Amino acid sequence: MCKDLHYAYLDKFTALDGVSMHVARGERLALLGANGCGKSTLLKVLDGLIFPDRGTFHAFGQEVTEDALEDEQMSEAFRSRVGFVFQNSDAQVFSPTVREEIAFGPLQLGLGREEAAARVDDVLAMLGIADLADRAPFQLSGGQKKKVAIASVLVMNPEVLLFDEPTAALDPRTQMWLIELIEQLSGAGKTIVHATHDLDVLDRIADRCLVFGEDHRIVAGGTPGEVLGERALLLEVNLVHERTKLR
């Protein structure tokens, strides 16, 4: 749960201005808004990568703060329960081989090499990318890198998955693969939060939407059907153009 979050980059470029929201266990929540409205910043707060200038963020019954995450036990517990898939896979994938990339997280959290290797094999098989295991990430296509980035998160078996613009720059086949994977993960009980401005996939990936205005505040919420039915709202927050035809 987030209450009255405020955040500004370099103390002068506002990204969040009084944002309050909650995510229920097992929910699929979409954060909608134009570029620069604060969606990605909120995801970074939810992942404990940045901390609000004002306001509070609670997860799993505890307040998440910079000081709290300096405690090793608290940090390991939180990091193992929340996974973040970045919009740009190149920012997330950095190891010499795909296998090493996927094993990095489990090893950092103290799993033995045999257990980590078994997890890696399982997630490679689950995502159908075992043939990439010994490839170097820089040799992969954009869609393959996205799959590896997702694998490096799923190998941790987190309870909460955060996706920043999950379908951006993906070819149609990979986009459909990802949508179907999100549906499977939701069916397995994962809590999923997306930041997106892709309205075409909302009914497949979300149960509820929160809409950001360009003033960095949440201005509306509802089911995908309810939000997509508010054309005036979508125009106001710059999610559609006046000539855009919605399905």
Mean of pLDDT values over 50-66: 96
Question: Shortest CA distance to 120 belongs to which of 141, 86, 95?
Answer: 95
Residue 86 lies in a domain: yes
**108-146, pLDDT tens digit by residue?**
888 899 999 999 999 999 999 999 999 998 888 888 988
Interval 163-209: pLDDT, tens: 999 888 788 898 999 999 999 999 999 999 999 988 988 999 999 99
The total domain count for the chain is 1
Q: How far apart are CA 88 and CA 180, in angstroms?
A: 20
pLDDT higher than threshold 90 for residue 247:
no
Residue 135 covered by a domain: no
* Residue 125 maps to a domain: no
- Residue 7 belongs to a domain: yes
Retrieve residue 55's tokens. Answer: 């306001």
pTM of the model: 0.93
Yes or no: say if 233 and 212 are a contact pair by the CB < 8 Å rule. Answer: no
Lowest mean pLDDT among 35-39, 42-46, 168-172: 168-172
What gap in Å lies between CA 198 and CA 125, rounded to an integer? 29
Q: How confident is the model at residue 243 (pLDDT cuts 50, 70, 90)?
A: low
In a domain, 25, yes or no: yes
Q: Is residue 43 part of a domain?
A: yes
Give the structural domain span for 40: 2-91+158-236
pLDDT score for 245: 66
Question: Would you say residue 9 lies in a domain?
Answer: yes
Q: Does residue 137 lie within any of the structural domains?
A: no
CATH classification of the domain holding 201: 3.40.50.300
